[in-house]
């Protein structure tokens, strides 16, 4: 009887394990039908550049700011669409490979800007091996989107989805041509949304762990309903290959760009006219905030929509058109996507109180028209204060060079031992504001610092060579 009971127990245990395994297997997605339906709309894109000999390894963002070697993003933006072979000198006629997908049955094709940038010829090869020479309708570096057109009809086209409904942890699938292997399928999950990346101000990327490699660039990212939710654009890589961090442009942003490229041939973005920064824990404490959030305004550009709308230096933008800002990186994409001439509502924290402002968004000016900051020169200065800073008055020439009025700013002559060192203050910086008070003279600045209680965290607005920035520091006990 005991043996029989034991046999029954073993049988039930085996049955349970088999049922569990079957249930788990049934819970995994089956991508076969999705691939059968959508693979014909995914294309291989090859480009040819004539007479452009030079050193190339990867397509990469232009004018990207330098990053520290130990920064995990230091080689994030090697674009994974590889032109050379190990970075050698390219021949006079160079060829490159990438991916794309058909969005209309009459031949409009979507891909990345960096896939076709600088190309003299663009060839689109379909899943059935037919090839067409493509016309570049328009290309936008800011969003890394390019729109192509081939002379063909009755083509298979993808269904456009909506990444806004995409949840973190959801399954997604990519089809493309990694390393030139056509129609390669890889799958993974959504790791994060709204990801901001260095030198990329206007794209809230979808982060996934889908295997993306050189040649996948410009290919579609599908949800389980078989709809395109993104365009695979960038990877984090220390080797040039897949490392588990892939980034896709949200499809609704891409389609907005497509609409503008078809209509105007170029993209127009909204402009607010502020320089902003994140609010860290120390800055949040200095502004009496319960937690870090929002975008701290470090500078308001003269004659900009922000100035006309009443924004001030030291304001913290908490929401833009009812969308809460958890960090400053969320603001540029929201502003950029706002139609020129539209009035935006901003929730702002000013002097500890929330207020609402309405600002009419204008067209983003050309990069050459945007203001630049230059490093000031400072004369001799007195001894350091309790922050470890040595100050000096600015000359009329220095104020003119920096675009400052006669009642604005005091120079930092030297930085000695004290909290200023940890806060990153450097000689040549200019102090514009301390603890919410605008600085006009050296004597005023010294008195403000002298009157700060021991152990209090204060915020200083500094004009650095790269622009204005707030820093927080605690006065010694």
State the average pLDDT over residues 217-223: 96
Considering 83-87, 194-198, 325-329, the range whose residues carry the highest mean pLDDT is 325-329
**Per-residue pLDDT band at 368 (split at 50, 70, 90):** very low
CA of 212: how far to CAs of 36, 170, 185, in Å?
A: 20, 17, 10
CA 96 to chain centre: 25
CA dihedral 34, 36, 42, 44 (to 10 degrees): 130
State the average pLDDT over residues 207-224: 94
State the average pLDDT over residues 438-465: 86
pTM (2 decimals)? 0.70
Q: Are residues 279 and 165 in the same domain?
A: no
Q: Are strands 467-474 and 353-360 parallel, antiparallel or unpaired?
A: unpaired
Q: Are residues 153 and 282 in the same domain?
A: no
Q: Are residues 254 and 289 in the same domain?
A: no
Residue 18 in domain: no
Residue 140: pLDDT over 80: yes
Residue 383 in domain: no
Which of 339, 369, 399 is the C-terminal boundary of a domain?
A: 369
Q: Are residues 109 and 244 in the same domain?
A: yes
Residue 306 in domain: yes
The pLDDT of residue 57 is 34
Which of 334, 369, 404 is the C-terminal boundary of a domain?
A: 369
CA dist., res. 475 & res. 477, Å (int): 7
Residue 318 in domain: yes
Q: Are residues 172 and 131 in the same domain?
A: yes
The pLDDT of residue 341 is 94
What's the pLDDT tens digit per position in 29-73?
899 999 999 999 999 999 988 765 443 333 334 444 444 444 444
CA of 115: how far to CAs of 231, 233, 235, 284, 315, in Å?
A: 12, 10, 14, 42, 40
Q: What is the CATH number of the domain that holds 335?
A: 2.30.42.10
Which of 223, 252, 267 is the C-terminal boundary of a domain?
A: 267
Q: Are residues 253 and 292 in the same domain?
A: no
CA 32 to chain centre: 33
Under 8 Å between Cβ of 472 and 458: yes
**Per-residue pLDDT band at 416 (split at 50, 70, 90):** confident
* First and final C-alpha spacing in the chain: 80
Domain that holds residue 274: 270-369
Q: Are residues 137 and 247 in the same domain?
A: yes
Query: Which residue numbers are catalytic?
Result: 114, 144, 217
Name the least confident of 147-151, 236-240, 272-276, 389-393: 236-240
Q: Are residues 345 and 459 in the same domain?
A: no
Residue 226 in domain: yes
Q: Are residues 274 and 263 in the same domain?
A: no
State the average pLDDT over residues 260-276: 91
Number of domains in the chain: 3
CA dist., res. 125 & res. 343, Å (int): 44
Q: Are residues 258 and 292 in the same domain?
A: no
Residue 194 in domain: yes
Q: What is the CATH number of the domain that holds 126?
A: 2.40.10.120
Closest CA to 262 of 251, 254, 270: 254
Residue 24 in domain: no
Q: Are residues 364 and 416 in the same domain?
A: no
Q: Are residues 361 and 425 in the same domain?
A: no
Residue 20: pLDDT over 50: no
CA dist., res. 439 & res. 447, Å (int): 11
Helices and strands counted in the chain (H then E): 10, 28
Name the least confident of 61-65, 174-178, 410-414, 417-421: 61-65
Residue 76: pLDDT over 60: no
Under 8 Å between Cβ of 158 and 127: no
State the average pLDDT over residues 196-207: 82
Q: Is the dihedral of CA 430, 434, 440, 446 positive or negative?
A: negative
Residue 262 in domain: yes
């Amino acid at each position: 009887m005991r043996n029989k009971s034991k046999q029954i127990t073993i049988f039930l245990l085996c049955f349970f394990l088999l049922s569990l395994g079957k249930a788990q297997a049934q819970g995994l997605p089956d991508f076969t039908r999705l691939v059968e339906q959508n693979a014909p709309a995914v294309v291989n894109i090859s480009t040819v550049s004539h007479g452009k000999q030079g050193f190339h390894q990867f397509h990469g963002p232009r004018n990207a700011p330098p990053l520290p070697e130990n920064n995990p993003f230091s080689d994030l933006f090697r674009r994974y669409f590889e032109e050379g072979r190990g970075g050698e000198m390219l021949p006079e006629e160079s060829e490159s490979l990438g991916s794309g997908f058909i969005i209309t049955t009459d031949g409009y094709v979507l891909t990345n800007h960096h896939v076709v940038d600088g190309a003299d010829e663009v060839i689109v090869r379909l899943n059935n091996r037919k090839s067409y020479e493509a016309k570049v309708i328009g290309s936008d570096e800011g969003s890394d989107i390019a729109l192509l057109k081939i002379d063909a009809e009755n083509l298979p086209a993808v269904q456009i989805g909506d990444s806004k409904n995409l949840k973190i942890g959801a399954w997604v699938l990519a089809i493309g041509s990694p390393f030139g292997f056509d129609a390669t399928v890889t799958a993974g999950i959504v790791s994060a949304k709204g990801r901001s990346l260095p030198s990329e101000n206007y794209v809230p990327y979808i982060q996934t762990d889908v295997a993306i490699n050189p040649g996948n660039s410009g290919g579609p990212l599908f949800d389980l309903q078989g709809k395109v939710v993104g365009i695979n654009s960038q990877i984090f890589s220390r080797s040039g290959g897949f490392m588990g961090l892939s980034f896709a442009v949200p499809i609704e942003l891409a389609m907005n760009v497509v609409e503008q490229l078809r209509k105007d041939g170029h993209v127009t973005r909204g402009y607010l006219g502020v320089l902003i920064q994140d609010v860290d824990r120390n800055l949040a404490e200095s502004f009496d905030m319960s937690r870090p959030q929002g975008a701290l305004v470090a500078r308001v550009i003269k004659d900009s929509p922000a100035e006309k709308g009443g924004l001030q230096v030291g304001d913290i933008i908490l929401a833009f058109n009812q969308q809460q800002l958890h960090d400053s990186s969320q603001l540029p994409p929201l502003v950029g996507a706002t139609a020129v001439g539209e009035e935006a509502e901003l929730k702002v924290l000013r002097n500890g109180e929330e207020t609402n402002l309405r600002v009419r968004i204008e067209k983003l000016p050309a990069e050459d028209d945007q203001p630049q900051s230059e490093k000031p020169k400072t004369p001799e200065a007195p001894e350091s204060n309790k922050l470890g800073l040595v100050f000096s008055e600015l000359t009329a020439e220095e104020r003119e060079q920096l675009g400052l009025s006669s009642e604005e700013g005091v120079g930092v002559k030297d930085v000695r031992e004290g909290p200023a060192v940890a806060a990153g203050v450097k000689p040549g910086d200019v102090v514009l504001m301390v603890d919410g008070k605008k600085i006009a003279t050296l004597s005023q600045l010294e008195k403000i610092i002298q009157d700060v209680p021991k152990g209090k965290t204060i915020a200083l607005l500094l004009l650095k060579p790269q622009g204005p920035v707030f820093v927080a520091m605690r006065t010694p006990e």
